Amino acid sequence: MRMSKAFLALLFIFSSLIPTAHAVEVPATFSFQGSGYGHGVGLSQMGARSMALAGQSSEQIIKYYYKDVAIEQKDDSKILRVNIGHLLTSAKISTATKGSQLQIIQGEAGNENVLPVSSLADSISFSIIGSTVSPRVTVGKTTQTLTRSKTFTIRWAGTRYLEGPDTLISLNHSGVTQKLRYGQIQVKAIKSPLGYRIEMTNSVRLADEYLWGVSEMPSYWPVAALEAQAIASRTYALSKAGIYRSACDCDLYGSISDQTFLGYAKEIERKFGVVWKDIVTRTAGLTITQAGLPITAYFFSSSWGKTELAVNAWGSSRDYTQIVDDPGSLDLTLNPRFVTWNREVPQSVIAAAFLLPDVMSLEILGINESGTVAQIQATSSTGVKVALRGETFRSRTKIPSAWFNLVSVQN
């Protein structure tokens, strides 16, 4: 159909009135400035260091940071399953003691004194194949692939699980090597959102084998601070003991998700390993309690000058958490890295934190009494708004703390 010149002219005029669509340019990075490191709930490690230097005792430190608590003797002889390898596709265990070998058993071994030996090895490499773990055993120059299974147990001499001379083993995965001396290791295929992955746990006694390897405070710090940390670490572990988590096949993670478990390397730390081991022994059994039960003794590195409530950080109240002044965290001599900090976070990380395709702008909606961000809101290029708790945002973006301000955005 032919159009008249008049109609074409009107069509041109009308189309010229429609706004031309422009590509929206999302910011490449977001810049933040803040103070402190960690979630801010419970014991401030930098604050404990400051109080210890000022002559305060471990009991005074603990009762300052935790509200309405007692310090009591508790049975800490429990065996913990500590996750030492999470969501792995491969790993390797080797003996680091000459003349000693690993024992690999198909299945999950209990605490029996005698078990049939499936195989002896100098080293064992594990990989995930389908829904099973496939082990390759090396003895001398000979390597053999064993039958796949859901679960394997690894033992070595000098432990409660296998008699013989003290043996040190090495665990390597994700480019990191960890030295272990105690317990036994379970290697298990667990279904995860990523598919089947290997979970590795070390079964160790809480009282010594576990606590000797916890690395949450430098061992050269003042004794009272170390005692407070040992008591808090014991208490935290007791609060988690026996509560099985299927995602990690464990009671607790050997990482920052719970407590950093360095293993034997902490015990043999140059000059100061013996100090930490002595502190653990000296405080044996001492546990922070409320109404006779171990509390979940949260602790963190440093704050903006005040601690935080559990309800502000995670949305669940804990009667023993409180907001108190924490001036030691603001001491530049003690805490030069985190009295103030600056971070740039890429667009991809910010968008992923809010589960959005992109983020055009951020807005802080509120501040808690402690000074942490209560809520932060993101707006996408399509106008979708999503708000997160400040601590959730910190955790997802890996910025040091929830004590922060938005400084700028960069295209």
- What pLDDT score does 16 carry? 40
Q: What percent of the chain has pLDDT over 70?
A: 92
Largest CA distance in the chain: 102
Mean pLDDT of 314-330: 98
Contact (Cβ atoms closer than 8 angstroms) between residue 104 and residue 93: no
- What pLDDT score does 327 carry? 98
Query: Among candidates 18, 174, 173, 169, which has minimal Cα distance to 104?
Result: 169
Mean pLDDT of 341-362: 98
CA–CA distance, 298 with 320 (Å, rounded to integer)? 10
CA–CA distance, 167 with 161 (Å, rounded to integer)? 12
- The SS3 assignment for 369 reads coil
CA–CA distance, 235 with 41 (Å, rounded to integer)? 15
Mean pLDDT, all residues of the chain? 92
How far is CA 411 from each of CA 33, 57, 208, 378, rounded to the nearest angstrom?
Answer: 18, 51, 53, 16
> pLDDT digit string (tens) for 362-380?
999 999 999 999 999 999 9
pLDDT higher than threshold 70 for residue 116: no
- What pLDDT score does 11 carry? 34
Query: Among candidates 247, 256, 212, 249, which has minimal Cα distance to 230?
Result: 212
Contact (Cβ atoms closer than 8 angstroms) between residue 133 and residue 164: no
Q: How confident is the model at residue 4 (pLDDT cuts 50, 70, 90)?
A: very low
Mean pLDDT of 268-277: 93
Report the number of secondary-structure helices (H) and strands (E) in the chain. Answer: 9, 24
> pLDDT digit string (tens) for 133-190?
999 999 999 999 999 999 999 999 999 999 999 999 999 999 999 999 999 999 999 9
- Structure pTM? 0.90
Residue 193, H or E segment: none
Question: What's the distance, Cα to Cα, between the start and end of the chain in Å?
Answer: 48
135/112: higher pLDDT? 135
> pLDDT digit string (tens) for 229-248?
999 999 999 999 999 999 99
- 199 residue type, one letter: E
Contact (Cβ atoms closer than 8 angstroms) between residue 150 and residue 131: yes
- What pLDDT score does 110 carry? 65
Residue with tokens 């680091």: 96
What is the full DSSP assignment across 159-184?
BTTB-SS---EEEEETTEEEEE-SSE
> pLDDT digit string (tens) for 12-47?
333 343 343 345 689 999 999 999 999 999 999 999
Q: What percent of the chain has pLDDT over 90?
A: 89
In the sheet with 102-106, reading across from the earlier edge strand, the strands are 119-121, 102-106, 151-156, 184-192, 195-205, 79-88, 252-253
> pLDDT digit string (tens) for 251-267?
999 999 999 999 999 99
